Structure 1
């Protein structure tokens, strides 16, 4: 048993959904927020996940400045702010990127919960995307603007507790982040077919802006933890360890890529200089020499420009390569019309989760990437099918061993 602190188990009651609204809308502000008051118009970044680094008014237009937490950094320019106006009117807001260029299509909300994309006619790029004009209709009610819809730490906490309502799921605090935020782990329990269980590890949100990966991870996990015949059979053979949000500091800070120390966590699986990755190393060490059963599979959820999986190459172990091929082919057979690519890569020299797990344990370790602009309903559909086919493929290979 891991040393993680057990906090939520069988038959404990979940907070009501109304509490979700209360928690989300009354969170404490995070450090280094910027408030720009131009009299009739105000720009606010007084909530977790916000990023606004400065602003000024020029000739009736509003120029906002967006900067990363460190340089150099991966070009994932996250932004987030609210705007309110004394009067109902339409204003021009210019996003000025001090590093990189525009990537994320603006999402708009009136309550921070329900989002839609800003219409194309209200967006215009300048200087090859280093500057972007938004035409915004504003009034006294806050208008939220964000690079992607917000999925913050409090939402993860409530989702974790919802999953832990199941009588075979326990919720633990795996440890703490740089800034002392809890990092949670969900773990299934039960009597397995072969004494010590085979183990599957799922990891998410190493990179804060990668919301579409998180939107895939949740239905993926829900499918594995469902009451379907397939899921019940799978859980008799496999224990599932789930770390949905490895970088809560980066999420709260609206970071482009890194944790609170300015380190890309998915380039720290090897050096293990950060508390977040050290926690994952300790968790995975349970499976060295089969001390707590064998590790059979690791899946890490991310986002990029398109839907794809990064897997071991065909030159890597036959088991790992064949698993990836069988899994991917099964998904595409069921969903031929959804864009989803397979990119085998031999990159164990990179200190990523995928490279570390494959090199250390010799098992399939895959990065599951969702496109920034992917249709949200298709993300969910693909995640459900991917989870089902993963379970089938792992059960099939397990029975052959």
Structure 2
């Protein structure tokens, strides 16, 4: 094939097709490429089949691993810069797109590929454009209140994880506006924002107010109870934290298994919250048990979530007196975790390990060295961030 024909093929093929051809030419399986670029293999499969759009970050990483120069990046950017079809009147909706939306709407929303299907397997920078695209499709089909709130929450959490705190605040407001009139949805927004605010190191009293608002329902959700317990633990209000922890432990896995919405909590998240509260109360061994249980319930492909759980376990190990094991676990996580999964959540969890380890510990010195250059916009430090303090 001549150079000209190769260029023509690259220009006319879709990003997914080009990615599959490049991967096969390199002799790699989906799982092998997924492991190299830090994405879930099922997500890559969906991109190759055209069920998901992919992202510029994925294209760049695949170019690097497959030795394709910038061909995949160029293909992705060219395809996603086409906002109008040839001959289409500027500013007028694409009839083909409208026809597709009508067809899938008639077939039922459940049959449509969605960014919410397995969002925990997608790195934050790649997830954000998918969530925005999903929201735009939702708006085109007509308002679905519950789905709009779910997407707004996920966008806010993802922006916070990427260090875009100001933008995240706007999306929390949007989520609350979309939930107006629905007490259950409003409580969910308040609870998730309170938990996110802890990672952002926001002042604690306002976060407690958010958590308390989440409990106004007659039957508060597990995430609402978790939010209050976590904030109380950070405030150092031991007696109230103990009471809140007892409520969490009493909820149990069964109450979460039937959660209907992606933004509702599932069992491993409940155990993560219980373990973190135990760590703040000084109960290292029970915290380790709870975090180990959380790890058992969290799928391997949820890379970022598992990193947070491992770092939570490292904190509990250190609290239990196993400082060397805790630091070693934290070091392993930070060294092995692909760069695209390093976000606010991970660095907050790593910083919590540093809080309970003596500053003179050799492992802590190395952990701090690894964390500092990557922290960047996360700005997590032993001082605890702006507005930190106890209200007893």
The bucket for the TM-score relative to the shorter chain is: under 0.3
- Higher-RCO chain (CA-CA 8 Å, sequence separation at least 6): 1
TM superposition score normalised by structure 1? 0.26
TM superposition score normalised by structure 2? 0.27
Higher helix share: 2
